[in-house]
Amino acid sequence: MKENNKCREGGYNCVVCIKQVPDTKKVTGEAMKADGTINRAALPAIFNPEDRNALEAALSVKERYGGTVTAIAMGLPAACEILREALMCGADKAYLVTDRKAAGSDTLATSYILSCAVKRFKPDLVFCGRQAIDGDTAQTGPQIAEKLDYAAVTYLEKIDMDGDYAVVTRDIGTGVETDKVKLPALFTVTEKAGELRPFNVRRVMKYKDAELKGVAEAEAAGDGAAVIGQLSCDDIGAVTERCGFAGSPTNVAKIVSVVLAGGDYKEVPPTDEGIAGLVAELVADHTIG
């Protein structure tokens, strides 16, 4: 049932920006190389967790008010995996921005490239995950919004539509806030917005082998075709100087692996005497008491 009284004709065009990331929670001994750096290849590549919440927010807007959902990812062709997942969950269209010129992009360059891609679809609503678990910066979403001059709302927990406005609840750290936001707008979404729905069985059959095709060919295949459109920087009008290393002001000067090191370590036996001795020591050096 659509919420007709709040609908507008044609519903809302939604774009969701998603990222394939290494599963940083699974960094174990095997994933560390001898020199202490991380072997990214040894980590499973996953659909960034909060981007799943962002996709769910978009799908729920479409379900309740009508419209379309377009998923966009930037990365290597392997990222088609998460775009297929998005299609299987209910996204109408999927696009991959993949280009050598984009290599080495920091958040400023990434947000520039994604803003060029998003612009192509003239969306009413853009959803991004709050942050990706490989960089944890939470910068790309607000920077895309700034470049498009869209209203930006971070830490989204809930969204309802009302004509040309969205009424949203967001976490402000010290509490929650309700905002009325004029479209077009971009939202960065937290896990509170809801878990991504499971795959739809019929869509799995249809989209599990969706192939990456040049954007012209993909779009000629028509609505609902099992294809992922490939976009280059030229296709979206992203100028070379603002992409990749050239468009990235930040430089990584140094990387060190985390080495766990405590101070002097003392093992205390779990006995009455052992623990009484420890407490006495802490009292003596004024840590407690």
Partner 1 sequence: MSENLNRGEVWVFAEQEDGKLSDVPRELLGKGRELADTLGVKLAAVLMGDKVECLAKELFEAGADKVHLVEDSELKVFRGKAYRHAFVELIKECQPQIVIFGATHMGRDLAPAVASALGCGLTADCTDLQIGDYTDKKCACQGGEPKVVKNVLQQIRPAFGGNIIATIVNPYNWPQMATVREGVMKPLEVVPGRTGELVKHDSKLAGVEIPVEVLEIVRRHSSINLKGSRIIVAGGAGVGSKENFKLLHDLADALGGAVGGSRAAVDLGYCEHERQIGQTGVTVRPALFISCGISGAVQHLAGMQDSAKIIAINTDKDAPIFKVAHYGIVGDLNVVIPKMIKAIKG
**Per CB under 8 A, 34 contacts partner 1:** no
Give the nearest distance from C-beta 131 to partner 1 in angstroms. 8
Query: Which one, 22 or 229, has the nearer CB to partner 1?
Result: 22
Nearer to partner 1, 53 or 230 (CB): 53
**What is the Cα–Cα distance from 119 to 128, expressed in whole angstroms?**
15
Residues 111-170 contacting partner 1, CB under 8 A: 111, 133-143, 145-147, 151-155, 167
Among 71, 181, 218, 227, binds partner 1 (CB under 8 A): 181
CA nearest 189: which of 82, 91, 79, 61?
Answer: 61
> Least distance to partner 1 from the beta carbon of 73, Å?
20
The DSSP bridge pattern shows strands 185-189 and 151-162 to be: parallel
The rounded distance, in Å, linking the Cα atoms of 47 and 1 is 30
Structural contact between residues 228 and 210, judged by C-beta atoms closer than 8 angstroms: yes
37 near partner 1 (CB under 8 A): yes
In terms of CB distance, is 108 or 204 closer to partner 1?
A: 108
Measured between alpha carbons, how far is residue 117 from residues 1, 13, 31, 73, 213 in Å?
32, 14, 33, 10, 16
Contacting partner 1 within 184-203 (CB under 8 A) = 185
CB nearer to partner 1: pick between 41 and 172: 172
CB of 94 to partner 1, least distance (A): 26
Distances (CA, A) of 189 to 48, 153, 228, 247: 12, 9, 24, 26
State how far the Cα of 92 lies from the Cα of 68, in Å rounded to an integer: 6
**Which residue in 63, 81, 179, 211 binds partner 1 (CB under 8 A)?**
179
> Which residues inside 48-87 make contact with partner 1, applying CB under 8 A?
none
